[in-house]
Amino acid sequence: MNYDEVMNIEKVNFGDMPPQPFLLGLLSAFDNRYQAAADAYFKEITWKQFFAIICINLCKEPPTLNELSDIMGSSHQNVKQILLKLEKKGFVMAAPDDKDKRKQRIFVTEKCRTFLEQNDNNGQQSQYVIGRIFDGIDEKSLQTTIRTIMKMERNLSEL
């Protein structure tokens, strides 16, 4: 594959780069561009803060910091910093676990739920943006991409 033609970037020479490092670079560059676009979308919070809220809401019960760090694929310290900023803004709160008082569980607040309703129309705006990003990509390609990245994730965890 001629990456120079695919990427249409005249200032870069990919040469005979194998597809594996090209894909890793492409994923990193996409992540950076997506984060910049998503940061501009919500005025009050960043993409990483929004992602933390999404992950909290995906949990069957309010997560601990360690559980949320695992879900987000980020370090305990990074997630702690994100949560401290969200807590300062009144979007999340931590409370002791009912069964083990040493653990702190993370909850989204009513202010956070109201923010999501007003700014994301209960997920409809996010679904629109996601739909635009995946426009023209068929289900089979998506499934292959998901399987590939999940396998890469498993391999990464074994390093």
Could you tell me the fold of the domain covering 46-108? Arc Repressor Mutant, subunit A (1.10.10)
Q: Does the pLDDT of residue 82 top 60, yes or no?
A: yes
Is pTM beyond 0.75? Reply is yes
Residue 38's nearest CA partner among 119, 113, 114, 110 is 119
CA distance 120 to 65: 25
Report domain extents, the chain: 1-43, 46-108, 110-158
The helix-helix angle for 76-88 and 65-72 (nearest 10°) equals: 110
* Residue of higher predicted confidence among 121 and 153: 153
Residue 130's pLDDT band (cuts 50, 70, 90): confident
Among 27-31, 55-59, 109-113, 147-151, whose mean pLDDT is lowest?
27-31
Compute φ and ψ for 99, nearest 5 degrees.
-95, -30
